[in-house]
């Protein structure tokens, strides 16, 4: 065995390269085809993944040719071990969907802004709200919220844009009916009747996901378990959180739902 | 299995004949039959007389350049040796010889055992500086490097030379041959058959890879065992491991495509762009070359991880360090997608995107100018600046096919091979960075360690620190920065987004994999200092 490694007999370097590149090509292709990729990255990364799967396949072919040639280099075992282990973990473990507390650094995004002198202010006013309404078709890539009469229905497609408008124009949307689904998120600092109906928003990949949602004031909050999925129908009011004016839902109906697949929303821009 | 082949490479007077004589002594004493292909007549001759009566030594003279593979096959069939030693003159690269050896039917007759590169100690610096490419190629491919005629040289110089060689080829065994007279003592039979003492790297490499495998098995072994005794906790750990792996894989899935783009561009520059192109482009005045560096960023709008292999290649191709630095810092900031995502993350403050863009470009220009005014004197690229050659082992393959009837296809092949080698070289640091980032994201809550949020300077420093450990990619930085708007003033949020695009864990690891250690420290200090000064001044001047 030592003789095989010692002599320039088998081109191990090319062999390892080929195997790893093929493995990653298979993983990349499979994750896109099965749709599991949505648990890892935003759909806007998909074309890049397809492109690099194609390149890796090409690289694998070129490396395979070298297996029968005289090795020019010794294989770097550490490098190939790092790649092989990553590949094995990716292939052996199906992706998991993250719950509200899996990313420790994330606070739910309630759209507050702090100015330079330390004071905070609530965002939005009526004029801006009207202006935003008129400009809707030129919004940031997502369809405008489905404002049906006096009601906003949050969908996967308009989730982030709808939030964006609600937080920006709190006053304007006051009194409007809202229908939104998400999981129950609670923080130690919340009052007993408070919970946030929230979703993870994925910009690029799982590691950079943010929690976003709307605060609900509901007397039965304590009966709702964290991370359970609910659909909330209610009326939008102005509320306060840590001294800020924020949109708040006064729920009329809360019904349990199954976790959507995928549970994340992917803003487009 | 074929004849055991050894190649002895080195310049005239490096001591090839001395070493070959020593090898012969060892092989012939063991009853082997040896064929030597001698390329040139040096000062010394192969000790033919001593073995004439045994009939077990055959010496042929043929320059490697003119060596006919079929002729070699005829010799091998005629003499049926056990060992074949080919002498390769230092003025020739090894690559053509290796190509010949791969041809049928010669390939079936001999099996390359090892390549021994000889360097005369006194000539090392002169050759390395003047004919780096030709000199470096046999060294980078060698299994054993012998430094000859070291007698009388100060120990300090020898260590320096050894360090240079190790940087270029950490795998090769390294031997010293003080003088021809001491050859006998220096090369006892055993040391040769054992292959000599290997470089530290080749000892550490399998150990590290074994430790990695062992650590992973240990973790999963622990969880599986725990699950047997305490099912609930075992399941909990397993779920956590799964979350960890999901985040880890998501970082790889997101970053590999961009690394791929980076290494492809880098390889394309290496293979297709002539050496003089960049030096001509950047030979004009400072305003012009700075402008080009910033503009290049706009035309190369990819994530920050793609930029480092490209920067390395640019520096290697003779782009001034100052311009390359400006390019590296500006590119992830001027990316239109990054600007758009910043505007979207801070909907009621569109000027934040503008500030991020202009401050980022400003810092990139200032850092580049400082690099120009106070040039860095030391070694820049990892692997030694002495050799301008690339040590990837593929360059010479691509270049020696220049006479190929289809140069373009040969170049494409060279480019792909190059990109592959670089993908593994760069990607391994990405894997390490992904593990570390995943750990940070899942276990450390930055909101709870915001000690210094009170004072503006403290807040800025804290946010720059967070940017370093939390940034994943410049596109999503803005959304991560949003997390901190409850605790931190806007200038420091801006600091997070600007600095995070310059430096984070991943970038630092990629930098240290591509550039010399001291240079990386110098670079990081420069970027941190300039960013901090510009950002803290901007906090006083910008209107929020």
Between the ranges A169-183, B233-247, B337-351, B411-425, where is the mean pLDDT highest? B233-247
Residue scoring higher pLDDT (B103 or B1): B103
**Chain A contact present for B112, CB below 8 A:** yes
**In chain A, what are the domain boundaries?**
2-92, 113-256
Distance from CA of B14 to the nearest CA of A (A): 23
Least confident piece of the model among A29-38, B155-164, B189-198, B290-299: B189-198
Task: Identify the closest residue of chain A to B208 by CA–CA distance.
Answer: A78
Overall average pLDDT of the B475-485 stretch: 74
Residue scoring higher pLDDT (B361 or B196): B361
Please determine, for residue B236, whether its predicted confidence score (pLDDT) is greater than 70: yes
Distance from CA of A253 to the nearest CA of B (A): 30
**Chain A contact present for B443, CB below 8 A:** yes
**Chain B contact present for A10, CB below 8 A:** no
**Chain B contact present for A8, CB below 8 A:** yes
B445 & B386 share domain: yes
- Residues 492-521, chain B: which have Cβ within 8 Å of A? none
Please determine, for residue B441, whether its predicted confidence score (pLDDT) is greater than 70: yes
B206 part of a folded domain = yes
Percent of chain A with pLDDT over 90: 42
Of the pLDDT bands very low, low, confident and very high (cuts 50, 70, 90), residue B247 is very high
**Chain B contact present for A85, CB below 8 A:** yes
A113 and B348 within 8 Å at the Cβ level: the answer is yes
Tell me the per-residue pLDDT of A134-150, one tens digit each, with 9 for 90 and over.
Answer: 444 334 445 556 566 77
Query: Please, are residues A227 and A219 in contact by the beta-carbon 8 Å criterion?
Result: no
A72 and B397 within 8 Å at the Cβ level: the answer is yes
Structure token pair of residue B71: 């002729």
Between the ranges A84-93, A193-202, B29-38, where is the mean pLDDT highest? A84-93
Residue scoring higher pLDDT (B443 or A217): A217
Overall average pLDDT of the A48-75 stretch: 89
Task: Give the three-class secondary structure for A199.
Answer: strand
Q: What is the distance of C-alpha B53 from the center of its chain? A: 51
Overall average pLDDT of the B52-80 stretch: 83
Partners of B145 in the β-ladder: B117, B174
Residue that is written with structure tokens 């390149």 in the block = A55
Of the pLDDT bands very low, low, confident and very high (cuts 50, 70, 90), residue A235 is very high
The per-residue pLDDT of chain B, averaged, comes to 80
Please determine, for residue B53, whether its predicted confidence score (pLDDT) is greater than 70: no
**Chain A contact present for B474, CB below 8 A:** no
How far apart are the C-alpha atoms of B112 and B115, rounded to whole Å?
A: 8
Least confident piece of the model among A21-35, B114-128, B341-355, B508-522: B341-355
In this predicted structure, what is the pLDDT of residue A129?
Answer: 39
B473 and A40 within 8 Å at the Cβ level: the answer is no
B298 & B222 share domain: no
Please determine, for residue A6, whether its predicted confidence score (pLDDT) is greater than 70: no
How far apart are the C-alpha atoms of B166 and A203, rounded to whole Å?
A: 44
DSSP A185: E
A115 and B257 within 8 Å at the Cβ level: the answer is no
B44 part of a folded domain = yes
B297 & B342 share domain: yes
Of the pLDDT bands very low, low, confident and very high (cuts 50, 70, 90), residue A11 is confident
In this predicted structure, what is the pLDDT of residue A263?
Answer: 93
Domain CATH for B167? 3.40.50.300
Q: Give rounded-to-5 percent helix, strand, coil for chain A.
A: 40, 25, 40
Question: Any residues with CB less than 8 A from the CB of A111 and at least 6 apart, and which?
Answer: A123, A163, A167, A168, A246
B394 interaction partners in chain A (CB closer than 8 Å): 72
How far apart are the C-alpha atoms of B84 and B7, rounded to whole Å?
A: 8
Percent of chain B with pLDDT over 70: 83
Please determine, for residue A31, whether its predicted confidence score (pLDDT) is greater than 90: yes
B209 part of a folded domain = yes
**Chain B contact present for A106, CB below 8 A:** yes
Overall average pLDDT of the B271-280 stretch: 76
**C-alpha distances in angstroms, B217 versus A85, B199, B214, B221, B224?**
11, 29, 5, 6, 10
Tell me which of B229, B245, B278 is where a domain ends.
B229
B246 and A95 within 8 Å at the Cβ level: the answer is yes
Query: Is residue A180 exposed (0-12), middle (13-18) or buried (19+ Cβ within 10 Å)?
Result: buried
B236 part of a folded domain = no
A203 and B479 within 8 Å at the Cβ level: the answer is yes
B248 part of a folded domain = no
From B349, B444, B486, residue closest to A105, measured CB to CB: B444
Tell me the per-residue pLDDT of A156-192, one tens digit each, with 9 for 90 and over.
Answer: 888 887 887 787 777 888 888 999 999 999 888 888 8
**Chain B contact present for A46, CB below 8 A:** no
Q: Which fold has domain A113-256?
A: OB fold (Dihydrolipoamide Acetyltransferase, E2P) (2.40.50)
B242 part of a folded domain = no
B351 & B270 share domain: yes
Query: Please, are residues A167 and A111 in contact by the beta-carbon 8 Å criterion?
Result: yes
Give chain B's radius of gyration (CA, Å). Answer: 28
Give chain A's radius of gyration (CA, Å). Answer: 25
Number of domains in chain B: 3
Overall average pLDDT of the A10-34 stretch: 94
A205 and B254 within 8 Å at the Cβ level: the answer is yes
Task: Give the three-class secondary structure for A243.
Answer: coil
Mutate to test the interface with B, among A65, A86, A202 (most CBs of B within 10 A): A86
| Structural domain boundaries, residue B522 | 256-541
Please determine, for residue B185, whether its predicted confidence score (pLDDT) is greater than 70: no
Of the pLDDT bands very low, low, confident and very high (cuts 50, 70, 90), residue A264 is very high
In this predicted structure, what is the pLDDT of residue A80?
Answer: 94
How far apart are the C-alpha atoms of B147 and B165, rounded to whole Å?
A: 10
Tell me which of B198, B219, B247 is where a domain ends.
B198
B10 & B118 share domain: yes
Overall average pLDDT of the B368-377 stretch: 87
Partners of B155 in the β-ladder: none
**Chain A contact present for B248, CB below 8 A:** yes
Query: Is residue A219 exposed (0-12), middle (13-18) or buried (19+ Cβ within 10 Å)?
Result: exposed
B354 & B401 share domain: yes
In this predicted structure, what is the pLDDT of residue A122?
Answer: 37
In this predicted structure, what is the pLDDT of residue A133?
Answer: 43
Task: Identify the closest residue of chain A to B456 by CA–CA distance.
Answer: A116
**Chain A contact present for B198, CB below 8 A:** no
Distance from CA of A255 to the nearest CA of B (A): 27
Percent of chain B with pLDDT over 90: 14
> How many other CB atoms are there within 10 angstroms of residue B482's CB atom?
21
A140 interaction partners in chain B (CB closer than 8 Å): 340, 343-344
In this predicted structure, what is the pLDDT of residue A145?
Answer: 60
B455 interaction partners in chain A (CB closer than 8 Å): none
Please determine, for residue B393, whether its predicted confidence score (pLDDT) is greater than 70: no
**C-alpha distances in angstroms, B349 versus A240, B341, B411, B459, B541?**
21, 13, 49, 20, 17
Overall average pLDDT of the B311-336 stretch: 85
Residue scoring higher pLDDT (A230 or A152): A230
Task: Identify the closest residue of chain B to A164 by CA–CA distance.
Answer: B347
B194 & B205 share domain: no
Tell me the per-residue pLDDT of A84-129, one tens digit each, with 9 for 90 and over.
Answer: 999 999 999 999 998 877 776 666 666 543 333 333 333 333 344 3
B194 & B295 share domain: no
Please determine, for residue B220, whether its predicted confidence score (pLDDT) is greater than 70: yes
B115 & B217 share domain: no
Please determine, for residue B453, whether its predicted confidence score (pLDDT) is greater than 70: no
**A110-141 per-residue burial string, b: 16 or more CB within 10 A, e: under 16:** bbbbbeeeeebebbbeeeebeebeeeeeebee
Overall average pLDDT of the B254-263 stretch: 85
Contacts A–B by Cβ distance under 8 A: 234
B191 & B208 share domain: no
B471 & B341 share domain: yes
The backbone torsions φ and ψ at residue B60, rounded to the nearest 5 degrees and listed phi first, read -115, 150
Mutate to test the interface with A, among B253, B392, B419 (most CBs of A within 10 A): B253
DSSP A139: S
B237 part of a folded domain = no
Residue scoring higher pLDDT (B75 or B440): B75
Work out whether the CA dihedral B527, B467, B450, B243 comes out positive or negative.
Answer: negative
B383 & B331 share domain: yes
């Amino acid at each position: 065995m030592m003789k095989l490694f010692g002599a320039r007999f088998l081109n191990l370097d090319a062999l390892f390269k080929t195997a790893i590149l093929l493995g990653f090509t298979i993983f990349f292709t499979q994750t896109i085809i099965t749709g599991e990729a949505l648990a890892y990255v935003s759909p806007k990364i998909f074309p890049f993944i397809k492109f690099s799967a194609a390149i890796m396949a090409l690289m694998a072919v070129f490396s395979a040719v070298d297996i029968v040639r005289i090795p020019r280099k010794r294989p770097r075992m550490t490098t190939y071990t790092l790649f092989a282990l990553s590949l094995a973990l990716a292939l052996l473990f199906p992706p998991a969907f993250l719950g509200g507390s899996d990313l420790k650094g994330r606070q739910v995004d309630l759209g507050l802004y702090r100015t330079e002198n330390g004071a905070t202010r609530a965002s939005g006013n009526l004029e801006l709200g009207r202006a935003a309404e008129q400009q809707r078709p030129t919004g940031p890539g997502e369809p405008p919220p489905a404002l049906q009469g006096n009601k906003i229905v949050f969908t996967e497609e308009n989730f982030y844009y709808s939030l964006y408008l609600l937080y920006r124009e709190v006053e304007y949307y006051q009194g409007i009916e809202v229908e939104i689904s998400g999981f129950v998120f609670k923080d130690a600092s919340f009052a007993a009747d408070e919970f946030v109906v929230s979703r993870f928003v994925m910009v690029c990949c799982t590691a950079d996901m943010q929690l976003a949602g709307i605060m609900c004031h509901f007397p039965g909050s304590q009966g709702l378990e964290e991370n359970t999925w609910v659909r909330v129908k209610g009326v939008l009011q102005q509320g306060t959180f840590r001294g800020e004016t924020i949109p708040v839902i006064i729920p009329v109906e809360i019904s349990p739902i199954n976790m959507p697949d995928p549970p994340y929303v992917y803003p487009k821009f | 299995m074929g004849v055991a082949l050894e190649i002895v490479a080195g310049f005239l007077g490096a001591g090839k004949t001395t070493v070959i004589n020593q090898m012969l002594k060892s092989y012939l004493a063991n009853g082997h039959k040896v064929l030597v292909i001698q390329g040139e007549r040096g000062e010394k001759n192969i000790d033919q007389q001593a073995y004439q009566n045994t009939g077990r030594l055959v010496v042929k003279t043929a320059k490697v350049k003119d060596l006919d593979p079929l002729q070699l096959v005829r010799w091998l069939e005629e003499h049926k040796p056990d060992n074949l030693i080919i002498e390769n003159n230092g003025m020739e690269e090894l690559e053509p010889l290796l190509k010949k050896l791969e041809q049928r039917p010669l390939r079936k007759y001999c099996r390359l055992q090892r390549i021994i590169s000889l360097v005369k100690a006194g000539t090392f610096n002169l050759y390395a500086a003047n004919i780096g490419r030709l000199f470096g190629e046999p060294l980078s491919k060698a299994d054993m490097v012998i430094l000859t005629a070291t007698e009388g040289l100060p120990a300090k110089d020898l260590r320096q030379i050894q360090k240079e060689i190790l940087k270029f080829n950490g795998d090769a065994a390294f031997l010293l041959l003080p003088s021809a007279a001491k050859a006998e003592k220096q090369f006892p039979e055993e040391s040769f058959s054992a292959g000599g003492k290997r470089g530290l790297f080749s000892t550490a490499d399998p150990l590290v890879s074994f430790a990695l495998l062992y650590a992973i098995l240990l973790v999963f072994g622990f969880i599986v065992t725990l699950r047997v005794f305490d099912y609930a906790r075992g399941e909990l750990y397993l779920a956590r491991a799964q979350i960890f792996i999901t985040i880890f894989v998501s970082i790889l899935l997101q970053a590999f495509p961009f690394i791929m783009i980076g290494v492809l561009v880098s390889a394309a520059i290496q293979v297709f762009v002539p050496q003089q192109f960049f030096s001509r482009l950047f030979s004009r005045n400072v305003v012009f070359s700075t402008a080009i560096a910033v503009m290049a960023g706009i035309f190369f709008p990819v994530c920050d991880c793609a930029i480092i292999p490209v920067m390395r290649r640019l520096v290697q191709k003779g782009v001034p360090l100052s311009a390359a630095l400006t390019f590296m810092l500006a590119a992830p900031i001027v990316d239109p997608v990054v600007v758009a995502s910043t505007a979207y993350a801070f909907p009621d403050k569109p000027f934040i995107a503008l500030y991020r863009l202009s401050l980022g470009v400003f810092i990139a220009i200032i850092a580049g100018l400082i690099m120009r005014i106070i040039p860095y004197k030391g070694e820049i690229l990892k692997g030694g600046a002495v050799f301008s050659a690339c040590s990837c082992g593929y360059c010479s393959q691509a270049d020696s096919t220049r006479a190929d009837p289809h140069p373009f296809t040969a170049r494409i092949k060279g480019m792909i091979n190059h990109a592959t080698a670089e993908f593994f070289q760069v990607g391994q640091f990405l894997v390490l960075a992904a593990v570390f980032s995943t750990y940070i994201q899942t276990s450390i809550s930055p909101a709870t360690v915001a000690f210094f949020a009170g004072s503006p300077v403290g807040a800025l420093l804290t946010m720059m620190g967070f940017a370093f450990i939390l940034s994943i990619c410049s596109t999503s930085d803005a959304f991560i920065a949003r997390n901190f708007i409850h605790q931190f003033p806007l200038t420091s949020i801006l600091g997070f987004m600007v600095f995070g695009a310059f430096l984070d864990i991943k970038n630092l690891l990629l930098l240290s994999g591509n550039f010399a250690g001291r240079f990386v420290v110098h670079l990081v200090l420069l970027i941190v200092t300039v960013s901090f000064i510009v950002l803290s001044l901007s906090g006083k001047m910008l209107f929020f």
